[in-house]
Amino acid sequence: MIVGFQGEPGAFSEEAATTLFGEIEARGFLTFDALVEAVDDGTLPLGLHPCENSIHGPVTRAYDLLYAHPNVRIVDETVHRIVQTLIGVPGAQLNEIRRIESHPVALEQCRRFLRSLHDVEVVPVADTAGAVREVLRVGYRSRAAIGPAASARRYGGTILADAVQDEAENYTRFFAIAREGAPRRRLGRAVLAFVLQHQPGSLHTALGVFAERGLNLRALVARPLPGRPFEYIFYAELDCPDEPQARSVMSEVGAETRLLGWY
Amino acid sequence: MIVGFQGEPGAFSEEAATTLFGEIEARGFLTFDALVEAVDDGTLPLGLHPCENSIHGPVTRAYDLLYAHPNVRIVDETVHRIVQTLIGVPGAQLNEIRRIESHPVALEQCRRFLRSLHDVEVVPVADTAGAVREVLRVGYRSRAAIGPAASARRYGGTILADAVQDEAENYTRFFAIAREGAPRRRLGRAVLAFVLQHQPGSLHTALGVFAERGLNLRALVARPLPGRPFEYIFYAELDCPDEPQARSVMSEVGAETRLLGWY
């Protein structure tokens, strides 16, 4: 089974893909855009895209890209526990480190740890596992990266500090995405996109469609509507046992709606 | 009038502060955390913090920091038009550029322009105006930065490409923040934070409190609740003509609520 994700080998996304699908042939993509485009054009059968972190909040690019690619559907989801580690070259000591690099989200998750250090430059880079690979390739004892323990094992690094994230409980939720018509899981979840008239009570009315059916709203994300400043597309994730109900809810919410996935 | 903001001289935040307050004594802070802490401890009377961009969406750190600093209040707001420009050393040409740096949000806003270039490394850094200053200090013809035209004027750079953001209409909204008790404008706006029980219809019920009074919901942001994975704090921004009404709405929404500002 071929599964794509954003990042380099050893990334959290690859860990999550292996947990969800078992033995996979992993395909790393440089950007989320390239990942979703590969699913859209049929060259990649299945992709894994983070959609939310329990500390950092929604990964808004996931919603924006799903909206921009109407042929791509959410077919499954999984929650993966994130443990950030500080990784340096073999033999390095924590007090030697003068530069730490990682993905901005990983750095954000380790705010307290980073603030506890002195004389350390913090550098945002494109990828956690890529940062680990690069630090180990360059080989300076003064440089370290924050990333998955799996990437330390893969690239031969030393863990200088374990579990350096602010919150012990740190989870990332991922959407599995595929082209329309691909097999789906049947967890009983629906993801809807909708645009509302800008008037008092419009969101309340829309949420009433879910509430009167007793459908639990698991997540609600508001994103800017391209070209219409300070108007929004709402993304609602619902517990919704069957697909026909998801479609009927959608048609009742309004004209500008789309079902990004029922799975 | 002393006004603080995140960033270096020439930043969009400084442009916005000047538009809102006229002649100011500008104080740049390295991070948003340092800015809000200076307001909280009384060393800075007034700060300007971006809260939303019309393309990128909410600046979630603004809400997280306001929640973490209960003595800090929103006292005013302003919307500032953002025009991103590509700035290089005097005499440089666009086709010579091999490295472009800027703040990640600015890079995100210029996605299409950056994708149209070839053989260019894109490097996220801490600050737009700081990126411009650094590129001009180093002086390589092959390096450029994306930032405000004001920063090109301030640091003596050349604009290689004007208005490089994806959307011509690009606005950032800012909160003015001060300690509780400081003077406020009276625009008739309220910003509430509230935590809901995780059950079907709870958000619908809360929004009903606003809807039944005819109060327009201008923005709704959901942020992770620290230490409680996949539970949320909601931030609601309302048109609300008077402060007593804001307080009565707040008490009706539920127990875990806070008024971050009425102005």
What per-residue confidence (pLDDT) applies to B65?
97
Distances (CA, A) of A192 to B1, B19, B52, B66, B249: 47, 39, 23, 30, 29
- Interface touch A199/B216, C-beta < 8 Å: yes
Per-residue model confidence (pLDDT) at position A136: 97
- Classified by CATH at the fold level, domain B186-263 comes out as Alpha-Beta Plaits (3.30.70)
**Residue A59: predicted pLDDT:** 94
pLDDT (mean) for B172-191: 96
* Angle of the B128-138 helix axis to the B12-21 helix axis, nearest 10: 130
Tally of CB atoms within 10 A around A181: 8
Residue A53 with chain B: CB contacts under 8 Å: 224
Residue pair B175/B74 in contact by the 8 Å Cβ criterion: yes
Nearest to A80 by CA among A47, A50, A44, A56: A50
Provide the shortest C-alpha distance from residue A150 to chain B (in Å): 23
Residue A1 in 3-state DSSP? Answer: coil
Domain boundaries along the sequence of chain A: 1-81+170-181, 85-161, 186-263
How far apart, in Å, do the first and last CA atoms of chain B sit?
19
Does the beta-carbon distance from B207 to A211 stay under 8 Å?
Answer: no
Burial of A90 (0-12, 13-18, 19+ CB in 10 A): exposed
pLDDT of residue B44: 98
CATH of B1-81+170-182, one of 3.40.50.300, 3.40.190.10, 2.130.10.10, 2.60.120.10: 3.40.190.10
Q: Do domains B1-81+170-182 and B186-263 have the same CATH topology?
A: no
Q: What is the band of A127 on the pLDDT scale with cuts at 50, 70, 90?
A: confident
- Over residues B116-137, the mean pLDDT reads 93
Query: Rounded to an integer, what is the distance from CA B15 to the centroid of its chain?
Result: 13
DSSP 3-state of A66: helix
Q: CA-CA distance, B37 to A122, in Å (whole number)?
A: 20
CB neighbour list of residue B153: distance below 8 Å, 6 or more residues apart: B10
Give the model's confidence band at B7: pLDDT under 50 very low, under 70 low, under 90 confident, else very high. confident
Among positive and negative, which fits the CA dihedral A60, A61, A62, A63? positive
Predicted pLDDT of residue A43: 97
The yes-or-no verdict on residue A254 having pLDDT over 90 is no
Per CATH, the number for A85-161 is 3.40.190.10
B215 against B167, higher pLDDT: B215
Where do we find the tokens 């609601």?
A: B236
pLDDT at A141: 97
Least confident of A12-16, A112-116, A248-252: A12-16
Q: How confident is the model at residue B200 (pLDDT cuts 50, 70, 90)?
A: confident
- Closest of A107, A130, A118 to residue A10, by C-alpha: A130
Q: For A20-29, what is each residue's pLDDT tens digit?
A: 999 899 999 9
Could B224 and A60 be called an inter-chain contact, meaning their C-beta atoms sit closer than 8 Å? Answer: no
Chain A: closest CA distance from residue B224 (Å): 6
What dotted CATH number matches A1-81+170-181? Answer: 3.40.190.10
Residue B255 pLDDT > 80, yes or no? no
- Percent of chain A surpassing pLDDT 90: 80
pTM for the structure as a whole: 0.83
B124 min Cα distance to partner chain A (Å): 7
| Phi-psi domain of A214 (left: phi exceeds 0; alpha: psi -120 through 50; beta: other) | left
Contact A51, A9 (CB under 8 A): no
And the tokens for B217?
A: 């919901």
Most B CBs within 10 Å, among A30, A61, A207, to test the B interface: A207
Q: Quick: pLDDT tens for B132-174.
A: 999 999 999 999 999 998 899 889 999 999 999 988 888 999 9
Contacts of B201 in chain A (CB under 8 A): 207, 210-211, 214
pLDDT in the model for residue B144: 98
Q: What is the pLDDT of residue A253?
A: 93
* DSSP calls for A175-195: EEEEETTS------EEEEEEE
Q: Say if the Cβ atoms of B230 and A200 lie within 8 Å.
A: no
- The answer to whether the CB of A117 falls within 8 A of the CB of A97 is yes
Cβ contact, residue pair A200, B211, below 8 Å: yes
What average pLDDT does this structure show over B96-116? 93
* Cβ pair B216:A207 closer than 8 A: no
User: What strand order describes the sheet that includes B99-102?
Assistant: B121-124, B99-102, B143-147, B85-88, B158-161
Out of A198-202, A258-262, B74-78, pick the least confident. A198-202
